[in-house]
A and B are shown apart, each in its own frame.
Chain A
Amino acid sequence: MANDEPLHTSARSNTPEAFGSLYEQYYSQIFGYVYRRILHWETAQDIAAEVFLKAYKSFWRFRWSSIPIGAWFYRIATNEVNMFFRVGKHRRDVSLTELLDKEGFDAPDARTTESEKANAERELQRSQDFLLVQAQVRALPAKYQDVIALRYFEGKSVREIGEILGKGEGTIKSLLSRGLEKIRKKLPLDATE
């Protein structure tokens, strides 16, 4: 996460311009994370929109010394994903995407959206091993899903996961170990990709 931090100290301000730069830097990571957790294109868009809307609204009081900014975005995204799984598809807040549609900017570049969605679906079809693991991970309680997804799907270190989830490294190691134990029996070790 430290490598993702803004390089210039001038970028560490709480202005809309600074948020714009951070948005450019983190959108793809956060959207990718949400999509790999949810595996549904439109829902991932709604959740990513919700993440950045919430981040934008509370960015003015973000304290740079408290948590790395990347971890902060991942934390909001993790909370949103868990809320989606807990509350279900039908009781979500009105997303920014829905608001946008209501306000008139309805898919200005629909062909690009469709082509990116199709590319993502093809990419998923090629990653059968990922889908197999993901299905097992999704069957776990949320606390194990979070650590396994962040560690093995997003490539975060134990320290980074601790920053994202606001837990100590020992707790993260323990959750990882117990989470892996739970999927051990269900996952064949010699599957091919």
Chain B
Amino acid sequence: MKPDPIAERLGKIAIPQVSNEAHKRRLKLALLDARRSAWWGTLLIALPALFLTAVFLQYGLGVGPFFDPLERFIFAPIRHSGVRWLEPLLLFVLPLIAFVVNLLSVTHFSMTPGRDEFVVTVAVKRRWWNWIVVGLSGMIVAVIFLYAVKGDR
């Protein structure tokens, strides 16, 4: 069968190839990375947040149905497990990681070199769940840090 000349012609045209890496990176950040960091951040601060809430209820308001079970079933076994770094890891290091990762996922810094100065632009993204995680994890880190410093004196 004789090939269709119009089909042959279309089959031979040079197709323009384009690349849009900037948009690809930007869109991926919006689609996946911020949501993922909020989810991981929530997991990382869940236990310390529960612990601090129980401490506040017990020693601040005198309401104590939560602190004893938490202490008995989670923190006492951790403390007596022989792994000394496990408790600071759970209460300080993991919330610190949640804080840093979520803060980075909702802020963007760019620096443009000018003739006599550098122009630094800080863009902040309104992803509320990330900001809630940033706030809570920052608070947990600050409270645990202050407690540790005060406790040493």
Binding site for B on A (CB under 8 A): 16, 19-20, 23-24, 27-28, 31-32, 35-36, 41, 44-45, 48-49, 52-53, 56, 96-97, 99-100, 103-106, 108-109, 112-113, 116, 119-120, 123-124, 126-127, 129-130, 133, 148, 151-153, 155, 176, 180, 183-184, 187, 189, 191, 193
Given contacts A31-B23, A109-B22, contact A126 B28 (CB under 8 A): no
* In the complex, B81 has a CB within 8 A of chain A: no
Contacts of B127 in A (CB 8 A): 103
Contact yes or no, A27 B126, CB < 8 A: no
What are some 16 contacts across the A-B interface (CB < 8 A)? A16-B32, A23-B31, A28-B19, A31-B23, A32-B18, A45-B23, A97-B23, A109-B26, A109-B110, A116-B22, A126-B14, A155-B15, A180-B6, A180-B10, A187-B9, A189-B5
Given contacts A105-B123, A116-B19, contact A130 B27 (CB under 8 A): no
| CA–CA, A56 and B28, complex, Å | 11
* In the complex, B24 has a CB within 8 A of chain A: yes
Rounded to whole Å, the gap between the CB of A108 and the closest CB of chain B is 5
| CA–CA, A19 and B27, complex, Å | 13
Given contacts A48-B23, A113-B23, contact A108 B35 (CB under 8 A): no
| CA–CA, A96 and B15, complex, Å | 28
Contact yes or no, A193 B14, CB < 8 A: yes
| CA–CA, A49 and B20, complex, Å | 12
Contact yes or no, B13 A193, CB < 8 A: yes
Rounded to whole Å, the gap between the CB of B43 and the closest CB of chain A is 14
Contact yes or no, B15 A153, CB < 8 A: yes
Q: A148's contact among B9, B10, B16, by CB below 8 Å, is which? A: B10
Q: Return the 8 tightest CB-CB contacts between A and B, nearest first.
A: A152-B10, A120-B18, A112-B22, A123-B16, A113-B22, A127-B16, A27-B24, A104-B123
Given contacts A31-B18, A35-B18, A119-B19, contact A23 B32 (CB under 8 A): yes
| CA–CA, A122 and B13, complex, Å | 17
| CA–CA, A127 and B31, complex, Å | 33
Q: A108's contact among B31, B108, B126, by CB below 8 Å, is which? A: B108
